Amino acid sequence: MPVIPLISQEEIQQKVQELGQKITQDYQGKELDVVGVLKGCFLFMADLIRHIQLPLTCDFIRVSSYGDQKVSSGVVRFDFDVTQPITNKHVLLVEDIIDTGLTINYLLQNFQTRNPASLKVCSLLHKPENTRKKVQIDYLGFTIPNKFVIGYGLDFAGKYRNLPYVGILEEDAEP
């Protein structure tokens, strides 16, 4: 299916560098536990942590809410959890995209019960038009229109994650 570019590789790399620098400033003197939400976060997180000049650990979780559909089911299932406790750690949750907000809202509530020293959210993309649960995004790359996007870690039915840019599948583009 043809892909219409939305955010270029250069724009992404520039933004990721800015986010890394901001995070570095904000957490000066602290250690960070960067927790990525798989699978979509893996390219973004790999690039982001290379711009964070702080001692940090990385961990990953996986939740499912979409299957192969392009519409949120509203149901969040924990597939696997962090490998180390987050209690008393400065946790930064890294998401590829916040769409309805249901996933990140669930994760924030769940993580908060484990008493981290602090808990913040970093997301590459946000689709505000689709919000069902409003959440504070502490570090945000780009606000995008309500289109289904793929690339730079984001998939449709498991494919397109390897694109170095973010694009819209043509069937989802404006006529």
Does position 148 bind ligand IMP by CB under 6 A?
Answer: yes
Confirm or reject binding of residue 72 to ligand IMP (CB under 6 A): yes
**Is 99 a known active-site residue?**
yes
Q: Which is nearer to ligand IMP, 24 or 140 (CB)?
A: 140
Lookup: tokens for 161: 């994650």
Among 32, 52, 61, 98, which residue sits at the site for ligand IMP (rule: CB under 6 A)? 98
Residue in 96, 107, 152, 167 binding ligand IMP, rule: CB under 6 A: 96
Is 103 a residue that touches ligand IMP (CB under 6 A)? yes
Question: Given candidates 23, 86, 91, 102, which one binds ligand IMP under the rule CB under 6 A?
Answer: 102
Return the closest-CA partner of residue 107 out of 63, 49, 73. Answer: 63
Residue 118 is a binding residue for ligand IMP (CB under 6 A): no
Contacts 24+ apart (CB under 8 A), 20-26: 20/48, 20/49, 20/50, 20/51, 20/52, 20/53, 21/51, 22/139, 23/48, 23/52, 23/54, 23/92, 23/122, 23/139, 24/51, 24/52, 24/53, 24/54
Active site residues: 99
Q: Which residues bind ligand IMP (CB under 6 A)?
A: 37, 40, 65-66, 72, 95-103, 148-150, 154
